[in-house]
Chains A and B, each alone.
Chain A
Amino acid sequence: MTIEEFEAFFQRYKDRIFRTAYSILGDSGEAEDMVQEVFVKVYRSGGFLHPEKGKFEAWLHRLTVNQCISSRRKKKHLLLSIERLEDDGFELAEDNCASPEKLLIKKEESKKVWRALRSLDKRHRTVLALRYFDDLCYDEIAQVLKIPLGTVKSRLSSAIEALRKEQLGKD
């Protein structure tokens, strides 16, 4: 595949990869770096040319998660702030049925949760993202992270506990 053709592939999957990376790393700058790393890796591996039927999506998702887990935080990036997202013109998703007041409350609550999430360690952020953003079941999480089912349960439990402590601490 030429680079031009690979761009069409990039356009098709970039948002998905970005959102997965963002949900784990919590920083849009780092998530963008991760998108670059993943796509360069995919291009060089040629893996997407010969995957097993129906497994490509899972392979790409696993690659992204593993890259996020093994990445080190780059000091050059500023910590993500929700304010930066809005400055970049990123529109927070809206519920068309809710009143403006309810939307505002929802946004503020989400910001608080997001801040608390970002303060957790990466292992906790990862299991929470896989369960509550990617909606994977415990078995699937175990397969992606290559850890036992029992570890998934205990890690999720400690992640939720840590998140609640962080929220209580900030309130």
Chain B
Amino acid sequence: MTCKDVKHLLLSYLDDEVSLEERKAIEAHLSVCPSCEDELEALASTQQQLRQAYKTMLVGASPSSYVWATIREQLEKKNCKVSILDLVKSRMKGRVETLKLRQRVWKVALASVLALALILTLWLAIPSLLSQSFEAKAKDIVMKNATVQALVAEAGFPITGLTAEVAIPEVTGWMRPEGYDRPVSQVQLVNKKDGMVVAYVIVEEETEDVIWVNVPSSKKVVSIPPQPPSAEGWGETAVEIAKGDAEVQQMLDSGAEIGEVIALLPSEEEEDEHRFAWVKLLQGEKRWFVEVDLTEREVVRIVEW
């Protein structure tokens, strides 16, 4: 390797992003080239300074306390629904015209009939429309699902070479388990080149989870449990753990009540197998979240707001 080749690879070498062969070649060159050795030291020093600068500047950094207030304001603005009728009424105030009673009754009756017809039409059409709209979404969910992508890639079909089409149940080959009555969509992944079906996928509409994948060419059929787990399991466990905490028990004895339980996703610093949940406590206007570690079976903290 020449000095130019080695210098080009030094950063990747320091970041441990070179192959074993490259590493050996670089180290062999460094042992006989002081110039490249100096360059390596300078690069390592720059990396160390960078890491130190980030650590110094960012560890412990936190946004100002007003940030939440600003976010809340934005979310509340969007949640506020203004009644158009109220706006019109407020503008018409003082300029109300008197209508003949007979005409008003006739118009109200006609409007009622039309409204009823509209409601009936929507009631008949909406399930079909919703189903169609979720089918489009199901295709998107399937194309972006990591498990599906991994399975079809393993079979030799990268996801970029496939398109998703809604399938009829019989063709998909999925058998609905006994007692399972949630609505699902069935999607086929088709090879763009030859139009052959590469995979069959089932998506649960309520949770938008992929629950079943069949890749015939690799003879792989994967059933994926929906996430998060059912409330009958972890929810009861979370409440049980919370009630076992002395501080929580004190709060319950003082009149607080247990509200809903919310699944909490693991953070980067936590072990993958740790699961957490929030148990909501309510007392009048007051609210608390009890954070529970389901793996260690203990209360981590109680957050009040």
Contacts and interface: CB of A to CB of B under 8 A. Distances in A.
Interface of A: 1, 3-8, 10-16, 18-19, 22-23, 28, 31-32, 35-36, 39-40, 43-44, 48, 50-57, 82, 85, 88, 90-93, 106-107, 109-110, 113-114, 117, 128-129, 131-133, 137-138, 153, 156-157, 160, 163-164, 167
A110 B46 CA distance: 11
Given A50-B209, A138-B15, A19 B61 contact: yes
Interface string B1-27: 000000010011001010000000000
A145 to B, nearest CB: 16
Given A7-B68, A14-B67, A22-B61, A110 B207 contact: no
Interface stretch (B95-103, B115-123, B173-181, B266-274): B266-274
B57 A92 contact: yes
Interface residues of B, number: 55
B295 interface: no
B125 interface: no
Closest 3 CB pairs of A and B: A113-B53, A110-B56, A93-B59
A62 B135 CA distance: 27
Given A51-B265, A156-B11, A110 B53 contact: yes
Given A14-B67, A22-B58, A160-B43, A40 B207 contact: no
Interface of B: 8, 11-12, 15, 17, 42-43, 46-47, 49-64, 67-68, 70-72, 74-76, 78-79, 145-147, 207-209, 227, 262, 264-268, 272, 278, 280, 287, 289, 303, 305
A15 B305 contact: no
Contact of B56 (A92, A156, A160): A92
Contact of A160 (B46, B51, B70, B146): B46
B17 A106 contact: no
B50 A132 contact: yes
A90 B61 CA distance: 7
A133 B52 CA distance: 9
Given A35-B71, A113-B52, 11 more contacts: A14-B62, A14-B67, A19-B58, A36-B70, A50-B209, A57-B266, A57-B267, A109-B53, A117-B53, A157-B8, A160-B43
Nearest to B57: A114
